Amino acid sequence: MDVQGATTSYGCMSAARVAFRVDASLIIGTGHVMRCLTLAGSLRALGCDVFFISREHPGNLTEIVRAAGFPVRILPGCHQEEPPLPHPSTSHLSWLGADWALDAQQTQVALGAGSVDWLVVDHYGLDARWESQLQSSCRHLMVVDDLADRPHSCTVLLDQNLGRSPQDYSSLVPASCRLLVGPQFALLRPDFAARRALGVVRRYGGEAPRILIAMGGVDRDNITTRMLNALAHRGLPEGSTISVVLGVHAPWRRIVEEMAAKMPCATRVLVGVSNMADLVAGSDIAIGAAGGSAWERCCLGLPTLMMVLADNQRDGATALVTAGAALLLDNDFSDGDFAGKLSQILCPEQHAAMREACLQITDGSGADRMARIIADNDV
Protein backbone atom coordinates (compact mmCIF):
# COMPACT_ATOMS: atom_id res chain seq x y z
CA MET A 1 0.00 0.00 0.00
CA ASP A 2 1.79 3.12 -1.28
CA VAL A 3 1.76 6.45 0.56
CA GLN A 4 4.12 8.39 -1.70
CA GLY A 5 2.99 11.36 -3.69
CA ALA A 6 4.18 13.52 -6.55
CA THR A 7 5.20 12.28 -9.97
CA THR A 8 7.26 14.04 -12.59
CA SER A 9 4.55 14.85 -15.12
CA TYR A 10 2.95 18.31 -15.07
CA GLY A 11 -0.14 17.96 -17.24
CA CYS A 12 -3.05 15.70 -18.02
CA MET A 13 -2.25 13.36 -20.87
CA SER A 14 -5.05 13.84 -23.42
CA ALA A 15 -7.08 15.99 -20.99
CA ALA A 16 -8.41 13.43 -18.52
CA ARG A 17 -12.10 13.78 -17.63
CA VAL A 18 -12.71 13.85 -13.87
CA ALA A 19 -16.12 13.85 -12.16
CA PHE A 20 -16.74 14.55 -8.48
CA ARG A 21 -19.70 13.07 -6.61
CA VAL A 22 -20.01 15.18 -3.47
CA ASP A 23 -22.71 17.02 -1.52
CA ALA A 24 -23.08 19.93 0.88
CA SER A 25 -26.08 20.65 3.09
CA LEU A 26 -27.08 22.13 6.41
CA ILE A 27 -26.52 18.65 7.88
CA ILE A 28 -23.44 17.56 5.94
CA GLY A 29 -21.75 20.95 6.15
CA THR A 30 -19.50 22.51 3.53
CA GLY A 31 -16.16 20.80 4.05
CA HIS A 32 -16.56 17.91 1.60
CA VAL A 33 -17.41 20.18 -1.32
CA MET A 34 -14.73 22.70 -0.44
CA ARG A 35 -11.93 20.15 -0.32
CA CYS A 36 -13.13 18.64 -3.62
CA LEU A 37 -13.21 22.13 -5.11
CA THR A 38 -9.58 22.53 -4.07
CA LEU A 39 -8.56 19.29 -5.76
CA ALA A 40 -10.61 20.25 -8.83
CA GLY A 41 -8.66 23.49 -9.08
CA SER A 42 -5.34 21.65 -9.02
CA LEU A 43 -6.61 19.25 -11.68
CA ARG A 44 -7.76 22.10 -13.89
CA ALA A 45 -4.32 23.67 -13.59
CA LEU A 46 -2.93 20.45 -15.07
CA GLY A 47 -5.35 20.65 -18.01
CA CYS A 48 -7.99 18.18 -16.82
CA ASP A 49 -11.68 18.48 -17.72
CA VAL A 50 -13.60 18.55 -14.41
CA PHE A 51 -17.27 18.63 -13.44
CA PHE A 52 -19.35 17.98 -10.32
CA ILE A 53 -22.41 15.87 -9.56
CA SER A 54 -24.33 17.00 -6.46
CA ARG A 55 -27.74 16.52 -4.92
CA GLU A 56 -29.95 19.55 -4.40
CA HIS A 57 -29.97 19.56 -0.61
CA PRO A 58 -30.92 22.62 1.46
CA GLY A 59 -27.66 24.47 2.06
CA ASN A 60 -25.96 23.15 -1.09
CA LEU A 61 -22.95 24.96 -2.57
CA THR A 62 -23.86 24.59 -6.24
CA GLU A 63 -23.53 28.28 -7.01
CA ILE A 64 -20.12 28.48 -5.33
CA VAL A 65 -18.87 25.54 -7.42
CA ARG A 66 -20.23 27.14 -10.60
CA ALA A 67 -18.72 30.50 -9.65
CA ALA A 68 -15.36 28.72 -9.47
CA GLY A 69 -15.86 27.76 -13.11
CA PHE A 70 -16.92 24.13 -12.80
CA PRO A 71 -20.11 22.68 -14.33
CA VAL A 72 -22.51 21.03 -11.87
CA ARG A 73 -24.94 18.28 -12.83
CA ILE A 74 -27.76 18.30 -10.31
CA LEU A 75 -29.40 15.27 -8.72
CA PRO A 76 -32.90 16.15 -7.53
CA GLY A 77 -33.71 16.52 -3.86
CA CYS A 78 -35.53 13.38 -2.73
CA HIS A 79 -38.64 13.15 -0.56
CA GLN A 80 -39.10 9.46 0.01
CA GLU A 81 -42.28 7.98 1.34
CA GLU A 82 -40.26 5.10 2.76
CA PRO A 83 -37.21 5.67 4.98
CA PRO A 84 -33.80 4.79 3.54
CA LEU A 85 -32.58 1.23 3.96
CA PRO A 86 -30.56 0.76 7.16
CA HIS A 87 -26.82 1.03 6.69
CA PRO A 88 -24.80 -1.85 8.11
CA SER A 89 -21.96 0.15 9.65
CA THR A 90 -22.61 3.88 9.87
CA SER A 91 -25.29 6.44 10.66
CA HIS A 92 -24.40 8.67 7.69
CA LEU A 93 -26.64 7.04 5.06
CA SER A 94 -29.36 9.61 5.71
CA TRP A 95 -26.96 12.28 4.44
CA LEU A 96 -27.44 10.90 0.93
CA GLY A 97 -31.08 11.97 0.69
CA ALA A 98 -31.94 8.87 -1.36
CA ASP A 99 -31.49 5.13 -1.37
CA TRP A 100 -27.94 4.29 -2.46
CA ALA A 101 -29.15 2.28 -5.47
CA LEU A 102 -31.26 5.20 -6.71
CA ASP A 103 -28.33 7.54 -6.21
CA ALA A 104 -26.10 5.21 -8.22
CA GLN A 105 -28.62 5.10 -11.05
CA GLN A 106 -29.02 8.88 -11.08
CA THR A 107 -25.27 9.39 -10.99
CA GLN A 108 -24.83 7.10 -13.99
CA VAL A 109 -27.37 9.18 -15.90
CA ALA A 110 -25.63 12.40 -14.85
CA LEU A 111 -22.29 11.06 -16.09
CA GLY A 112 -23.83 10.68 -19.53
CA ALA A 113 -22.69 8.59 -22.46
CA GLY A 114 -19.20 7.14 -22.32
CA SER A 115 -17.09 6.99 -19.20
CA VAL A 116 -14.93 9.40 -17.27
CA ASP A 117 -11.29 8.71 -16.57
CA TRP A 118 -11.75 9.30 -12.84
CA LEU A 119 -14.78 9.42 -10.57
CA VAL A 120 -13.91 11.01 -7.22
CA VAL A 121 -16.39 10.22 -4.43
CA ASP A 122 -16.41 12.18 -1.17
CA HIS A 123 -19.52 11.11 0.73
CA TYR A 124 -19.97 9.35 4.07
CA GLY A 125 -23.30 7.96 2.85
CA LEU A 126 -21.71 5.86 0.08
CA ASP A 127 -19.75 2.62 0.21
CA ALA A 128 -18.64 -0.38 -1.86
CA ARG A 129 -22.19 -1.20 -3.00
CA TRP A 130 -22.59 2.16 -4.75
CA GLU A 131 -19.00 2.21 -5.97
CA SER A 132 -19.36 -1.25 -7.54
CA GLN A 133 -22.37 -0.03 -9.51
CA LEU A 134 -20.34 2.89 -10.90
CA GLN A 135 -17.25 0.92 -11.94
CA SER A 136 -18.52 0.57 -15.51
CA SER A 137 -18.82 4.36 -15.81
CA CYS A 138 -15.21 5.22 -15.02
CA ARG A 139 -11.70 3.94 -15.61
CA HIS A 140 -10.64 4.66 -12.03
CA LEU A 141 -12.62 5.43 -8.88
CA MET A 142 -11.15 7.39 -6.00
CA VAL A 143 -12.70 7.64 -2.53
CA VAL A 144 -12.05 10.50 -0.10
CA ASP A 145 -12.82 9.33 3.43
CA ASP A 146 -12.14 10.11 7.08
CA LEU A 147 -13.97 7.33 8.87
CA ALA A 148 -12.50 3.90 7.99
CA ASP A 149 -15.84 2.40 9.01
CA ARG A 150 -17.20 0.75 5.82
CA PRO A 151 -15.97 -1.18 2.78
CA HIS A 152 -14.96 0.51 -0.48
CA SER A 153 -14.45 -0.68 -4.04
CA CYS A 154 -11.93 1.80 -5.43
CA THR A 155 -8.61 2.28 -7.19
CA VAL A 156 -7.32 4.95 -4.79
CA LEU A 157 -8.42 6.00 -1.31
CA LEU A 158 -7.40 9.25 0.35
CA ASP A 159 -7.66 9.85 4.09
CA GLN A 160 -5.88 13.09 5.00
CA ASN A 161 -6.13 12.72 8.77
CA LEU A 162 -3.23 12.80 11.19
CA GLY A 163 -2.73 9.47 12.93
CA ARG A 164 -4.44 7.45 10.22
CA SER A 165 -2.63 4.29 9.12
CA PRO A 166 -3.01 2.21 5.94
CA GLN A 167 -3.77 -0.71 8.22
CA ASP A 168 -7.01 1.01 9.23
CA TYR A 169 -8.30 0.30 5.71
CA SER A 170 -6.58 -3.02 5.02
CA SER A 171 -9.80 -5.04 5.43
CA LEU A 172 -12.02 -2.41 3.79
CA VAL A 173 -10.52 -1.99 0.30
CA PRO A 174 -9.28 -4.31 -2.46
CA ALA A 175 -5.68 -5.47 -2.18
CA SER A 176 -4.91 -3.48 -5.35
CA CYS A 177 -6.15 -0.19 -3.89
CA ARG A 178 -3.54 2.53 -3.45
CA LEU A 179 -3.91 4.09 -0.01
CA LEU A 180 -2.83 7.69 0.46
CA VAL A 181 -3.03 8.57 4.12
CA GLY A 182 -1.99 11.46 6.32
CA PRO A 183 -1.97 15.27 6.18
CA GLN A 184 0.81 15.34 3.57
CA PHE A 185 -2.15 14.76 1.24
CA ALA A 186 -4.46 17.32 2.90
CA LEU A 187 -6.49 19.12 0.23
CA LEU A 188 -5.61 22.75 0.94
CA ARG A 189 -6.04 25.62 -1.49
CA PRO A 190 -2.75 26.81 -3.04
CA ASP A 191 -2.90 30.14 -1.22
CA PHE A 192 -2.05 28.32 2.03
CA ALA A 193 1.18 26.88 0.69
CA ALA A 194 1.93 30.28 -0.86
CA ARG A 195 1.71 31.94 2.59
CA ARG A 196 3.54 29.22 4.50
CA ALA A 197 6.65 31.38 4.86
CA LEU A 198 4.58 33.76 6.99
CA GLY A 199 3.82 30.92 9.38
CA VAL A 200 7.45 29.89 9.56
CA VAL A 201 8.47 33.36 10.77
CA ARG A 202 5.37 33.87 12.93
CA ARG A 203 6.20 35.13 16.44
CA TYR A 204 3.92 36.02 19.34
CA GLY A 205 5.36 37.87 22.31
CA GLY A 206 2.32 38.17 24.57
CA GLU A 207 0.95 41.40 23.10
CA ALA A 208 -2.74 41.99 22.38
CA PRO A 209 -3.73 38.87 20.42
CA ARG A 210 -5.42 38.68 17.04
CA ILE A 211 -7.99 35.90 17.47
CA LEU A 212 -9.66 33.99 14.66
CA ILE A 213 -12.91 32.10 15.36
CA ALA A 214 -13.99 29.60 12.72
CA MET A 215 -16.37 26.86 13.85
CA GLY A 216 -17.15 25.41 10.43
CA GLY A 217 -19.15 26.45 7.40
CA VAL A 218 -22.55 25.90 9.06
CA ASP A 219 -21.96 25.86 12.86
CA ARG A 220 -25.30 24.20 13.36
CA ASP A 221 -25.19 24.49 17.18
CA ASN A 222 -24.02 28.12 17.32
CA ILE A 223 -20.73 27.35 19.07
CA THR A 224 -19.46 30.69 17.75
CA THR A 225 -21.69 32.66 20.12
CA ARG A 226 -20.54 30.51 23.04
CA MET A 227 -16.94 31.35 22.18
CA LEU A 228 -17.67 35.06 21.95
CA ASN A 229 -19.41 34.93 25.33
CA ALA A 230 -16.42 33.19 26.85
CA LEU A 231 -13.98 35.72 25.40
CA ALA A 232 -16.12 38.67 26.51
CA HIS A 233 -15.41 37.79 30.14
CA ARG A 234 -11.67 37.15 29.81
CA GLY A 235 -10.39 40.71 30.09
CA LEU A 236 -8.35 40.55 26.91
CA PRO A 237 -5.53 43.14 26.59
CA GLU A 238 -6.40 46.48 25.07
CA GLY A 239 -5.95 46.33 21.32
CA SER A 240 -7.03 42.69 21.01
CA THR A 241 -9.06 41.90 17.91
CA ILE A 242 -11.41 39.08 16.97
CA SER A 243 -12.32 37.92 13.46
CA VAL A 244 -15.31 35.59 13.19
CA VAL A 245 -15.74 33.56 9.99
CA LEU A 246 -19.16 32.17 9.03
CA GLY A 247 -20.33 30.23 6.00
CA VAL A 248 -22.91 31.60 3.59
CA HIS A 249 -25.57 29.26 5.02
CA ALA A 250 -24.76 29.84 8.71
CA PRO A 251 -28.17 29.78 10.45
CA TRP A 252 -27.10 31.90 13.45
CA ARG A 253 -25.56 34.82 11.57
CA ARG A 254 -27.83 37.51 13.01
CA ILE A 255 -27.26 36.36 16.59
CA VAL A 256 -23.51 36.21 16.07
CA GLU A 257 -23.48 39.71 14.58
CA GLU A 258 -25.47 41.04 17.53
CA MET A 259 -23.05 39.47 19.98
CA ALA A 260 -20.05 40.77 18.05
CA ALA A 261 -21.40 44.31 18.31
CA LYS A 262 -21.42 44.00 22.11
CA MET A 263 -17.88 42.67 22.50
CA PRO A 264 -15.43 44.73 24.59
CA CYS A 265 -12.79 44.51 21.85
CA ALA A 266 -12.95 45.10 18.11
CA THR A 267 -14.83 42.17 16.59
CA ARG A 268 -15.75 41.67 12.95
CA VAL A 269 -17.97 39.02 11.37
CA LEU A 270 -16.95 37.81 7.91
CA VAL A 271 -19.33 35.70 5.81
CA GLY A 272 -18.39 33.46 2.89
CA VAL A 273 -14.76 34.58 2.78
CA SER A 274 -12.44 33.86 -0.12
CA ASN A 275 -9.26 34.95 1.69
CA MET A 276 -9.09 32.41 4.51
CA ALA A 277 -5.35 31.96 4.08
CA ASP A 278 -4.82 35.68 4.70
CA LEU A 279 -6.99 35.52 7.81
CA VAL A 280 -5.09 32.53 9.20
CA ALA A 281 -1.74 34.11 8.38
CA GLY A 282 -2.80 37.36 10.05
CA SER A 283 -3.93 35.81 13.35
CA ASP A 284 -2.05 34.84 16.51
CA ILE A 285 -4.38 32.09 17.71
CA ALA A 286 -7.48 30.35 16.41
CA ILE A 287 -10.56 28.97 18.10
CA GLY A 288 -11.87 26.40 15.70
CA ALA A 289 -13.47 23.11 14.85
CA ALA A 290 -11.41 19.95 14.55
CA GLY A 291 -12.34 19.40 10.90
CA GLY A 292 -10.54 19.97 7.62
CA SER A 293 -9.73 23.58 8.55
CA ALA A 294 -7.31 22.19 11.15
CA TRP A 295 -4.87 21.38 8.35
CA GLU A 296 -5.10 24.96 7.06
CA ARG A 297 -4.10 26.24 10.48
CA CYS A 298 -1.28 23.71 10.77
CA CYS A 299 0.11 24.67 7.37
CA LEU A 300 0.51 28.28 8.52
CA GLY A 301 1.64 27.47 12.07
CA LEU A 302 -1.45 28.79 13.87
CA PRO A 303 -2.02 27.30 17.35
CA THR A 304 -5.65 26.44 18.04
CA LEU A 305 -8.12 26.06 20.87
CA MET A 306 -10.13 23.28 19.29
CA MET A 307 -13.52 21.67 19.75
CA VAL A 308 -14.79 18.37 18.37
CA LEU A 309 -18.12 19.09 16.67
CA ALA A 310 -18.68 15.67 15.06
CA ASP A 311 -17.69 12.12 15.92
CA ASN A 312 -15.55 11.82 12.80
CA GLN A 313 -13.33 14.66 14.09
CA ARG A 314 -12.41 12.96 17.37
CA ASP A 315 -9.44 10.83 16.28
CA GLY A 316 -7.87 13.66 14.32
CA ALA A 317 -8.32 16.04 17.25
CA THR A 318 -6.66 13.60 19.63
CA ALA A 319 -3.72 13.23 17.22
CA LEU A 320 -3.33 17.03 16.94
CA VAL A 321 -3.29 17.40 20.73
CA THR A 322 -0.77 14.56 21.05
CA ALA A 323 1.41 16.25 18.43
CA GLY A 324 1.31 19.49 20.45
CA ALA A 325 -0.41 21.50 17.71
CA ALA A 326 -3.68 22.25 19.53
CA LEU A 327 -5.42 22.37 22.89
CA LEU A 328 -8.79 20.63 23.20
CA LEU A 329 -11.87 22.19 24.78
CA ASP A 330 -14.59 19.83 25.95
CA ASN A 331 -18.00 20.55 24.48
CA ASP A 332 -19.34 21.31 27.97
CA PHE A 333 -16.36 23.47 28.93
CA SER A 334 -16.61 25.66 32.02
CA ASP A 335 -15.44 29.26 32.35
CA GLY A 336 -12.46 27.98 34.28
CA ASP A 337 -11.57 25.45 31.59
CA PHE A 338 -11.72 28.09 28.89
CA ALA A 339 -9.69 30.61 30.88
CA GLY A 340 -7.00 28.04 31.63
CA LYS A 341 -6.63 26.87 28.03
CA LEU A 342 -6.66 30.44 26.73
CA SER A 343 -3.88 31.40 29.16
CA GLN A 344 -1.84 28.42 28.02
CA ILE A 345 -2.09 29.17 24.32
CA LEU A 346 -1.30 32.87 24.87
CA CYS A 347 1.86 32.07 26.84
CA PRO A 348 4.67 32.99 24.39
CA GLU A 349 6.73 29.88 25.16
CA GLN A 350 3.72 27.56 24.74
CA HIS A 351 2.66 29.42 21.61
CA ALA A 352 6.09 29.00 20.03
CA ALA A 353 6.15 25.26 20.76
CA MET A 354 2.66 24.80 19.30
CA ARG A 355 3.59 26.80 16.20
CA GLU A 356 6.53 24.51 15.53
CA ALA A 357 4.37 21.43 16.07
CA CYS A 358 1.80 22.76 13.59
CA LEU A 359 4.38 23.37 10.89
CA GLN A 360 5.60 19.77 11.09
CA ILE A 361 2.18 18.35 10.19
CA THR A 362 1.56 19.53 6.62
CA ASP A 363 3.24 21.74 4.03
CA GLY A 364 0.00 22.58 2.20
CA SER A 365 0.91 20.87 -1.10
CA GLY A 366 -1.37 17.85 -0.77
CA ALA A 367 -3.82 18.92 -3.48
CA ASP A 368 -1.03 19.22 -6.04
CA ARG A 369 0.30 15.80 -5.03
CA MET A 370 -3.12 14.25 -5.46
CA ALA A 371 -3.79 16.03 -8.76
CA ARG A 372 -0.58 14.69 -10.28
CA ILE A 373 -1.43 11.16 -9.19
CA ILE A 374 -4.82 11.47 -10.91
CA ALA A 375 -3.51 13.28 -13.99
CA ASP A 376 -0.80 10.68 -14.53
CA ASN A 377 -3.02 7.68 -13.69
CA ASP A 378 -0.34 6.85 -11.13
CA VAL A 379 -2.08 3.88 -9.57
Instruction: Give just the sign of the alpha carbon dihedral 271, 275, 278, 281.
Output: positive
Tens-digit pLDDT profile for residues 194-243: 999 888 888 899 899 999 999 988 888 999 999 999 999 998 999 999 99
Active-site annotation holds for 57: no
Tens-digit pLDDT profile for residues 335-374: 999 999 999 999 999 999 999 999 999 999 999 999 999 9
Q: Is 210 among the annotated ligand-binding positions?
A: no
- pLDDT bucket at 4, cuts 50 / 70 / 90: very low
CATH of the structural domain 192-359, one choice from 3.20.20.140, 3.40.50.720, 3.40.50.2000, 2.60.120.580: 3.40.50.2000
Q: Is 189 among the annotated ligand-binding positions?
A: yes
CATH of the structural domain 17-188+364-375, one choice from 3.40.190.10, 3.40.50.11190, 3.40.50.2300, 1.10.357.140: 3.40.50.11190
Helix intervals (H) in the chain: 31-45, 62-67, 100-111, 128-134, 190-194, 196-200, 223-232, 253-261, 276-281, 293-299, 314-323, 335-346, 348-359, 366-375
Which of the residues 32, 87, 140, 152 is marked catalytic?
A: 32
- pLDDT bucket at 76, cuts 50 / 70 / 90: confident
Q: What is the pTM of this model?
A: 0.86
